[in-house]
Structure 1
């Protein structure tokens, strides 16, 4: 719901006056900092070095990491799904699955083996969520991946329900190697540039770091309290 803003300038000037300022500024200049430590972490790292950092972090966040290429991706996905106990499986409706050669697996191989696969369907609305709740595995693709923290950034949309990544018991996230960046600093910059360029962004952007973790005040770690118990990142050489 939108409408005209009434008395905006008078309201802001009143606040400025209470703060001891003469007038609310019409333009605020972004400060130029002398030091930018947020850019220093992994600053000179190439994609191979970022991948090594991601591998190290995955050992700390209880996340399986498997490397493959596009030719071997389907077999790698089959193997991890089998290791994680099979279906039911829920996936996004994402054209990248076609590009990576996974659609035959979702549409022919697994249904032919009586493994239930549900592709997110915006027309089914709440039914998608119920199927995600019953699913053993959710399969998604990372849009940006933070090497420092081992975080996959997922952009939701009408075809990419956010529940696919957190309602199933296990999560498999495909990580294009080209999506690797050092840390949150670069991810925020990418998102900001997309906004400045007028790109339509998801109303929900999820930052997912491995399986669900929670710890009480005594730091006793419990996995799977409010999300997947197991998580696997499949890094795909896509360049």
Structure 2
């Protein structure tokens, strides 16, 4: 349902009066720009070329990147989790894990092997955050991925808590190859299109570019100051 705006005209009239002018009741026409440089970067790049850009950027942002297929995703995820020290693991409650064949790992195989796994449960509220604080690995899925900056865009919801991506020691993000776009310009456009189509957009959208970094003190770069110490992107070739 579209929200309602109350007392808009009287409010704007009062603002105009304080500025000594009459209220402007005409809509502002959107300008037609002759040049839009924000669309020029990687404009002609296909998915394979965007992936190569992402690989290069991941080396800059201290993020491990592995490319795999849907058939080998379980094996790849096991290797990453093992290399990062195993559980405890916290993951979103996300139907896409089932689509990618990962649910059996989270719900059966790892728990049977003694690896603690917690799936985000909106029914228990803040208790999820306590699990996230103790977790070694947080597992999420990127909704849109910016190749230019190496940024994963995560849409939060009641089943996709934002703390899963920044409280655990390590962050592992599944990146569908189909989610790759050149840069922020295209991500913003995708979200505007969703709004125009009356699709639900979360109130919290996280743009995550590798593990946390800070160079505030004497320009010395320190990784993992206020978030995950390690981050890995697992790109799933779904095209």
Alpha-carbon offset, residue 11 of structure 1: 3.0
Cα displacement string for residues 121-177 of structure 1 (whole angstroms, at most 9, x for unaligned residues): 110111100000000000000000000000000000110000000000000000000
Cα displacement string for residues 2-30 of structure 1 (whole angstroms, at most 9, x for unaligned residues): 98723x32331232344454322341221
Find the counterpart in structure 1 of residue 206 from structure 2.
206
Structure 2 counterpart SS, 1:70? coil
Q: State the number of aligned residues.
A: 237
| Shift in alpha-carbon separation, 1:130–1:12, aligned structure 2, 3 A | same
Q: TM-score, normalised by structure 1?
A: 0.95
Find the counterpart in structure 1 of residue 232 from structure 2.
232
Structure 1 counterpart SS, 2:71? helix
Structure-to-structure mapping, 1:22-37, within 5 angstroms: 22-37=22-37
Structure 1 counterpart SS, 2:109? helix
Structure 1: stretches of 5+ with no match in the other structure: none
| Shift in alpha-carbon separation, 1:114–1:35, aligned structure 2, 3 A | same
Structure-to-structure mapping, 1:1-239, within 5 angstroms: 5-6=6-7, 8-19=8-19, 21-216=21-216, 218-239=218-239
RMSD: 1.5
User: Aligned equivalents of 2:14 and 2:196: distance in 1?
Assistant: 31
Alpha-carbon offset, residue 201 of structure 1: 1.1
User: Aligned equivalents of 1:10 and 1:24: distance in 2?
Assistant: 12
| Shift in alpha-carbon separation, 1:46–1:11, aligned structure 2, 3 A | same
Cα displacement string for residues 172-202 of structure 1 (whole angstroms, at most 9, x for unaligned residues): 0000000000000000000011011100111
Structure 2 counterpart SS, 1:80? helix
Structure 1 counterpart SS, 2:72? helix
